[in-house]
Structure 1
């Protein structure tokens, strides 16, 4: 399905005289990752409004893997970034299937992967971005938890925490599961070790970035504030909604707001479902949604931030598994058309950060 998305993008980009490979490997955040992979940290950009964009906002694991792949394979950083993302998306899809099958069976698992690959912002899974890598770490960490492999779950949580700011959600899931076992008096040495190890990736980078700025505990968050990203308990939503109502924001922002609203509804459905997933899956999903709902800045990017929150789609996959085949075909066809068209639009004509 992602190959179909790449074909749609290639046709659209060629029609507009643009290079689809450059769009996938050298757009928006991917430029920062390529810079870190090639030169390390230290790049800043002064905006006309006085804000300072620092590359310390970007976590190190993805550009580190890109740099290694580029050196080993002898290819450009952009090409290496795409290879890493595509491989990560494939691993993520396998992990999502494993979690879905463990919880609800093979049919639901297959539909879960399919719907995830057809999300409106799923074009990001084909770009030199970090969401595919985070999804891979998260899905397999959750699977390790569900199968009692505590140290594997913790190690994968460390990888997730070194990949993206919202990678902390994986460590939160591991720690919540460990705490649950401790409360029930069933915790063993591996459970305690997992709870200690899981947050080390995210916390380690935040402290390192803080040390680079001269403020160990607060420096990283100051960097994020420079980008306009902060947790304000949703205070940034009313002005954005007002601007949308007045037509002062591009259509992509309206679509993003609608998709975040749908995600919130799906999370409530997930909580109320009689067959709701185990605690770590709920904690992981809730932690990702919390940042999207309670944070400020980059509203147009928020559906991308939710791409790793695949458990939100479990109610959809479950409903489709019980539906008639004709209904499923119609739904998949509509989702595919919307996903392919909207993904191409985001990269070529939307003119908003992705």
Structure 2
């Protein structure tokens, strides 16, 4: 297990080196943006664009005690409460400790957390799908189109580290460890709600096996605490926003400021976006919903089919609960590519490593193709979504 973790870490670092080259190349195209970059844009400037700027604001100034209002609509404007505190506060602590600036500290912290996530991911996958598939999965995940964000001042890396820790603990029935980590997840990124579903399924599976593996009273209590902790984690940050601002809906109002129409509407934005994607076609109203339905069927079939048996109930549940959660709370726009990073177990399925009695065929050939495609797509992601192009783009 230690060997696969080491190789996974090396693969991750190698691919982060490739991403660094892409960022340096893109920096020559990036114009200086006051408040975001220096006068001469370099690698570190590229790491604090977009959401990175918000995390720098939190690290330097904290959160507003009064919610800002949009003067045009009167609704709550975009503000720092949309961004969870663990990453920026850790960055601030390291800044105070080292005397280094936010871009250096935050990008390094993200890189190191991503390294830890890749190594832990390899170990937890190796227990289910074997070391070869686990290593190939980490390599493909580290080359994912939005994997560049693993070295930016974003929360993807630290969220992946904590998430892998939670899944690792749940798979081992280490309920108290899972409880502690899921509470940490509650201040890292808004993904604790689907983790609560995973926790519930894991506890149910453990309960159903009580005849062959009896459950002690202590384990019942620890399992209940883990389930309660996951529920609490899902509402921790909204409650904190309420406590500081005095507004019960501070968090949801803030998140709505980024949504189309200024409100959070489950499912409907996905249908609207699917139609928009095919807007240049005469039958967009048909092609959009059909494509969306195909995506939904694929996301359900991948973890439920026999090709995913080796993932086990916890990882399969995660791959079902997380997309369902995104469908409810998310508008599918540019960030959706980054939000796909936590679905790493599905990579093992695509590589053919999830069958119960069948070895993955052409494993390394598949992985090499997907890594190559991912790296090319990273270039597109950086050039299209990360590079700031005025006046069509604008800082928050």
Same fold? TM cut 0.5 = yes
Partner of 1:2: 16
Distance 1:238 1:87, change over 3 A: same
Superposed counterparts of 1:80-159, under 5 Å = 80-159=105-184
1:346 aligns with 2:379: no
1:234 aligns with 2:256: no
1:244 aligns with 2:266: no
The 8 Å contact of residues 260 and 303 in structure 1, kept in 2 or not, is answered as no
| Per-residue CA distance 1:190-237 (angstroms, 9 max, x = gap) | 222222233333322221212334344x43222222332765331112
Distance 1:41 1:325, change over 3 A: closer
1:172 aligns with 2:177: no
1:37 aligns with 2:70: no
- Unaligned 5+ residue runs, structure 2? 1-14, 33-40, 282-290, 354-358
Partner of 2:99: 74
Q: Which moved more, 1:330-339 or 1:30-39?
A: 330-339
Superposed counterparts of 1:280-291, under 5 Å = 280-291=314-325
Cα offset, 1:133, TM superposition: 0.8
Q: Does the residue aligned with 2:28 lie in a helix, a strand or coil?
A: helix
The 8 Å contact of residues 288 and 306 in structure 1, kept in 2 or not, is answered as no
Q: Does the residue aligned with 2:78 lie in a helix, a strand or coil?
A: strand
Cα offset, 1:301, TM superposition: 0.9
Distance 1:233 1:242, change over 3 A: same
The 8 Å contact of residues 50 and 386 in structure 2, kept in 1 or not, is answered as no
Partner of 1:329: 368
Superposed counterparts of 1:233-272, under 5 Å = 233-246=266-279, 265-272=298-305
Structure 2 distance, partners of 1:352, 1:167, is: 31
The 8 Å contact of residues 41 and 56 in structure 1, kept in 2 or not, is answered as yes
Structure 2 distance, partners of 1:74, 1:83, is: 14
| Per-residue CA distance 1:163-188 (angstroms, 9 max, x = gap) | 11123333432233224434655353
Partner of 2:239: 207
Distance 1:353 1:82, change over 3 A: farther
- Unaligned 5+ residue runs, structure 1? 249-257
1:25 aligns with 2:47: yes
Partner of 2:340: 306
Partner of 1:255: none
Structure 2 distance, partners of 1:160, 1:270, is: 23
Cα offset, 1:78, TM superposition: 2.2
Q: Does the residue aligned with 1:277 lie in a helix, a strand or coil?
A: helix
Partner of 1:60: 85
Structure 2 distance, partners of 1:321, 1:353, is: 46
Structure 1 distance, partners of 2:50, 2:198, is: 30
Structure 1 distance, partners of 2:280, 2:49, is: 26
Partner of 2:313: 279
Distance 1:322 1:57, change over 3 A: same
The 8 Å contact of residues 112 and 313 in structure 1, kept in 2 or not, is answered as yes
| Per-residue CA distance 1:70-98 (angstroms, 9 max, x = gap) | 11111112221111111111111112101
The 8 Å contact of residues 233 and 295 in structure 1, kept in 2 or not, is answered as yes
RMSD of the alignment, in Å? 3.2
Distance 1:327 1:317, change over 3 A: closer
Instruction: Tell me the TM-score normalised to structure 1 length.
Output: 0.85
